[in-house]
Amino acid sequence: MKYVSTRGHSEPVDFVEACLTGLAPDGGLYVPESWPQIAPAKPNESYIDVATRILNTFAGDALSDEDVRGLCERAYASFSHHSVTPLTQCGPNTFMMELHHGPTLAFKDVAMQFIGQLYDLVLGRRGQRMSVVCATSGDTGGAAAAAFAGAASVDLYILHPHERVSPVQRLFMTTTGASNVHNLAVDGDFDDCQSLVKSMFADKAFAAEVSLSGVNSINWARIAAQTVYYAAAQAAIGPDRPIRFVVPSGNMGDAFAGYVAARCGLLSGFELVCAVNENKTLATLLNDGLMQREQAVATPSPAMDISVPSNFERLFFEVAGRDGETVRRTYDQYRQSGSAILPDSVRGPLGCTGFSSAVINNGDTLAEMRTFKQLTGALICPHTAVGTAAERRLPPSEATTVILSTAHAAKFPETVLEATGDDAPLPKRCSELKARGEVYERVANDLKLIKDQIRGHMTAEA
């Protein structure tokens, strides 16, 4: 099975290459050249079995069946729940899919644990070493640290804005104790961290010299691994039951994985509400076909403070009839002028995909955290609350509603306390983190210094 770029000017590559490369050389995102058809999950199939079947299909000839099974077994052994992504009921015909049982208590672990195992296996066999860099405002860095800690063939560089990530989020990044995880606290904000990473990738000579790789939300492996829990939810609710998914969304990787699951025959139908916070570019895209550059504003759900959602490009490619030229032209225009209107030929099909959106403001998010606690006794994180608030506004439906819970309440204790007056302590399995020393290095917002540091590690390991 081959992967093609959404901008149509890169050579097709196999699964492993698509996952190690991240962004295609023409600036596009990788998607399968056609959607494979995969048998839906059965109610009595284990998560590992479902994951193995699905990821094996996406891997094609690039990995053996046994390899994929081993990756899934090792990736999901770190989860505290044997169902990996269990469903709990939170209202009549309404369920929460808990995606926060991984090592850093957020849904990004589901994909990142798989990626960590994949890199380790493939690079180990090739005798190759890579430098993985990521910029984080919180959750991605922790999930990457947990996934790559101790990996023999990877040096991980996490750039976070100094004193601008929450204490709990920093704890997950900085306490792995692994010598291959390098935490850089940059004197700047998240955008500075992101532009440092972008500049590193843009410097092709440097990227080649240190074998640079990225695992941000455009990496195909993240989408592939996230399709599994949609399939598992369908099996748990009932193979033929219609489901309406509600997904707290930022870069739309999670929501797009639901679409992929449907295209591959893993769902009985497709209806998905992208729940967004006050950063509502995604809603504008879906409703008005308008792509507009806007400064992201800070909200109680920081992992969703995104201006233009990167994974929208994959959906755009589909509704444009897989015409890479149309995608390229629209993104070129967006880059030059800061806005672009999707062509008419695309807006029609976009309205028929099954996607819709709901925008929840900051006040309603905090109010929802209180309401949810009153109704169920449970604390939820502010991202999940954007989802449950969106669900409360939906019209009644025959379909069963499944809301994705994207992080544990304990990951955002300050917001939980503000909204509900309750403490949200870390679960027991994480409580030893606090006793471990945090290791990070404060660095200037200086591209050359950071590059030299990465070069230095590469030479020391070679």
Q: Which residues bind ligand PLP (CB under 6 A)?
A: 106-108, 139, 217, 248-255, 303-304, 383, 406-407
Residue closer to ligand PLP (CB basis): 217 or 420: 217
Where do the DSSP E strands lie in 93-198?
A: 94-98, 130-135, 154-161, 181-186
Taking the least distance from each CB to ligand PLP, the nearer of 112 and 130 is 112
- What is the nearest approach in angstroms of ligand PLP to the Cβ of residue 247? 7
Q: Is the sign of the CA dihedral 21, 256, 120, 461 positive or negative?
A: positive
Closest CA to 90 of 296, 337, 334, 372: 372
Least Å distance between CB 421 and ligand PLP?
22
CA distances from 350 to 214, 359, 455 (A): 29, 18, 44
Query: Between 164 and 457, whose beta carbon lies closer to ligand PLP?
Result: 164
The vertex-218 CA angle with 15 and 332, nearest 5°, equals 115
Tokens of 108: 């990004």
Minimum separation from the CB atom of position 179 to ligand PLP (A) = 26
Q: DSSP secondary-structure letter at 26?
A: T
Closer by beta carbon to ligand PLP, 67 or else 139:
139
Residue 260, both tokens: 């992929």
Q: Do 236 and 40 contact (CB within 8 A), yes or no?
A: no
Q: How far apart are CB 41 and ligand PLP at their closest, in Å?
A: 21
The active-site residue, picked from 2, 42, 108, 198, is 108
Q: Minimum distance from CB of 439 to ligand PLP (Å)?
A: 23
Contacts 24+ apart (CB under 8 A), 330-333: 330/291, 331/7, 331/27
Q: Which is nearer to ligand PLP, 58 or 172 (CB)?
A: 172
Active site residue 108: yes
Torsion, Cα of 283, 217, 111, 430 (10° steps): -90
Label the pairing between strands 87-91 and 30-32.
unpaired
Residues labelled catalytic: 108
